[in-house]
A and B are shown apart, each in its own frame.
Chain A
């Protein structure tokens, strides 16, 4: 088992649901309640130093419960190692705390996840659509968004 996951489980024994290192990719499934603390720990611990939030995305597991998942891909420029943090969210309450306070650069990724999946990042400074226009209804990458659905074309004034 890797040092990253060992330290993470030692620090947050009740928040880490499961871990695996399949194909050498360290992955931890955690609860959403203390996600900011977990991410800040990963950034600040002298052995971990995850200073680079490479990606954040949403996943829609339609038909499963919990339905949504938020995935953080982190990298340490200093230690040259990676970790993947996953958080499952229920359909009726797809809310998670924002990580902007940990890595300011994660701002736009969270906006994208909101735009495409409707995942709400509580405390985000500017949570509005980033790819689609404001008049767009729904969240386009949800699995129940109809493929053939077309929305009204917006005019030059909007």
Chain B
């Protein structure tokens, strides 16, 4: 329960459950961990920069420690040698956590159909939001963050809850 000011200046009450209150708090404090391995990382920088300004959505505090991060933003090509590293970083993140797969390479391997490139990070991680594009616009990253906010808003299950990967 939270006390708020009514429009006319008088006291009012906003009624809520504790869960939705926590979700509301989380919604605007999604700390991303950027796992940038390729040109998508440049677009990520653009999204965090002043022009697109991801901080308008509360997700500008980039944490380069997985233990302090909420969102794993995988931006770029992941090869087979890198996959265990990515998985370990995901495992080190604390619940609740979300995963954004950014760009063609992270989503499906992109045009790297060869011996070395993982054909989509969803082979090793549960993914909440995919961003298509090569590379996607910063708008795509903002849209993905907003979609994670929608997941929080509606209480929809996270990918890791409905998508067990061994």
A interface residue numbers (CB < 8 A to B):
131-133, 136, 140, 145, 147-151, 153-158
Binds A, one of B32-40, B44-52, B79-87, B130-138: B79-87
Residues of B with C-beta under 8 A to A136: 80
Residues of A contacting B: mostly: loop
Q: A155 contacts B87, CB within 8 Å? A: yes
Q: Does B154 contact A (CB under 8 A)?
A: no
Report the separation of the CA atoms of residues A103 and B34 in the bound assembly, to the nearest whole angstrom.
40
Select one of A133, A145, A149, A150 contacting B119, CB under 8 A. A150
CB distance from B63 to the nearest CB of A (A): 20
Residues of A with C-beta under 8 A to B91: 156
Q: B119 contacts A132, CB within 8 Å? A: no
Which residue of chain B has the shortest Cβ distance to A150 in the bound complex? B119
Q: B116 contacts A132, CB within 8 Å? A: yes
Among A131, A140, A154, A156, max chain B CB count under 10 A is at: A156
A-contact 0/1 string along B19-59, CB 8 Å cutoff: 00000000000000000000000000000000000000000
Q: A140 contacts B123, CB within 8 Å? A: no
Residues of A with C-beta under 8 A to B123: 153
Select one of A131, A132, A150, A156 contacting B87, CB under 8 A. A156
Q: B115 contacts A140, CB within 8 Å? A: yes
Report the separation of the CA atoms of residues A140 and B114 in the bound assembly, to the nearest whole angstrom.
9
Which residues of B60-84 are within 8 A (CB) of A? 80-81, 83-84
Residues of B with C-beta under 8 A to A156: 84-85, 87-88, 91
